Amino acid sequence: MSRVSTARERSPWGAIAALLGGLLLALYAAPVAWLALAQPPSAVLASLDAPFVVGAARNTLVSASISTALATLFGVPLAYWLARARFRGRTLVTAVVAFPLVLPPVVSGMILLSAVGAEGLGGLLGVRISGTIAGVVLAQTFVASPFVVLTARSAFESVDTDAEEAARTLGASEWGTFRRVTLPLAWRGILAGITLAFARAAGEFGATLMLAYYPRTLPVQIWATFQGRGLDAAFPVAVVLLAVASGALVLLNVLGEASPVVSE
């Protein structure tokens, strides 16, 4: 005997979802809360006093912002193309986009170092990339940009092509349709991708370590401090990274939500 359930009936799903979700949230929150609480604020402030921590925080913000911008600039078109184009090698291209996610970051760093270092492209062009902010940006873009591409691709795919066709029928150009119909509808998904990419870039360690130990970003600084002085000295620097990155992520989302793309 089957019956149609009504909205009023309490389904167990609500409770299960909250429980499962809550457990996962606790897994994320517990170590972070411990980290933040176990660090006396004085220790965190003292670490801010060290010029190298401030420098590393600045490098992290600058490089992660540039890499996120690059990831968006190049990643959104790639995502759109992957979502709309129909061709045989599509799965293969998607697999290529996922390479940086599959490779351990240290390995990515080694590959990039070989490819753009003194014996690769950098040597050919006479440009030094390793050990420069460009190296940091390259490492971060490599590792973080797939988040923009893959998330934005899903977002574009979920946009109803009928809406796009309607716009075209009404005389909008291809660019106009993308600008006024597709992009606003996909924007939240794209913004999620941009947020992920920024978070990943700010926390990037392995590839950065290989490609550019200097100029130091916070993750590399945490490692260096740990190597020299141990966990207790490294934790306050980690709190600084958390604070800086969270602040930037909140700002990114506020700006993203208020962007003209959606409000139009």
Partner 1 sequence: MSTQRSVGGRRGRGAESGGSTEGTTRRGFLTALGGAGAAGVAAGVSGCVGSMGGAAGADRSDDNGSDGGRSGGRPISVLAAGSLQLAFSEGLRAAVDRPVQVEAHGSVTVARLVAEGKRHPDVVALADTALFDRVLATEWHAEFATNALVVAHTDSDAGRRVAEADRWFDPVVGGAASLGRTDPDLDPLGYRTLFALDLASEYYDRPGLRDALVEPRQVYPETSLLSRFETGDLDAAVVYRSMAEDRGYDYVDLPAAIDLSEPDRADAYGAVSYDLPSGETVRGAPIEYGATARRGGDPVTDTFDTLVAGEYLGDHGFVVPDEFPEYSGDVPRVHCP
Widest distance between CA atoms in the chain:
77
| Closest CB 217 distance from partner 1, rounded Å | 14
Alpha helices in 39-50 (DSSP H): 41-49
Report in angstroms how near the CB of residue 223 gets to partner 1 at its nearest. 9
Q: In whole angstroms, what is the distance from residue 37 CA to residue 224 CA?
A: 23
Decide whether 101 or 224 has the Cβ nearer to partner 1.
Answer: 224
Residue that is written with structure tokens 């490294």 in the block: 234
Rounded to a whole number of angstroms, the minimum distance from the CB of residue 42 to partner 1 is: 18
- Cβ of residue 111: shortest distance to partner 1, in angstroms? 11
Quote the CA–CA distance of 190 and 75 in Å, as a whole number.
Answer: 10
Q: And the tokens for 116?
A: 């753009």
* Beta carbon of residue 213, minimum distance to partner 1 (angstroms, whole number): 4
Q: Which is nearer to partner 1, 82 or 113 (by Cβ)?
A: 113
Least separation in angstroms between residue 210's CB and partner 1 is 8
Q: Give the closest residue to 186 by CA, choosing from 163, 157, 146, 166.
A: 157
H helical segments located in the chain:
12-38, 41-49, 51-84, 90-102, 105-116, 121-125, 133-157, 161-169, 174-177, 183-202, 206-211, 218-229, 231-257, 260-263
23 vs 231, which CB is nearer to partner 1? 231
CB of 205 to partner 1, least distance (A): 12
The distance of closest approach from Cβ of residue 227 to partner 1 in the complex, given in angstroms and rounded to an integer, is: 5
Q: What angle do CA 139, 143, 147 make, to 5 degrees?
A: 145
> Which residues touch 136 (CB under 8 Å, ≥6 apart)?
59, 63, 208, 211, 212, 215, 217
Between CA 221 and CA 215 the distance in angstroms is 10
Q: Which residues bind partner 1 (CB under 8 A)?
A: 110, 113-114, 117-119, 123, 126, 128, 130, 210, 213-214, 224, 226-232
- Which residue, 36 or 93, is less far from partner 1 as judged by CB? 36
**Residue number, 116 or 196, with CB nearest to partner 1:** 116
* C-beta of residue 216 within 8 angstroms of C-beta of residue 159: no
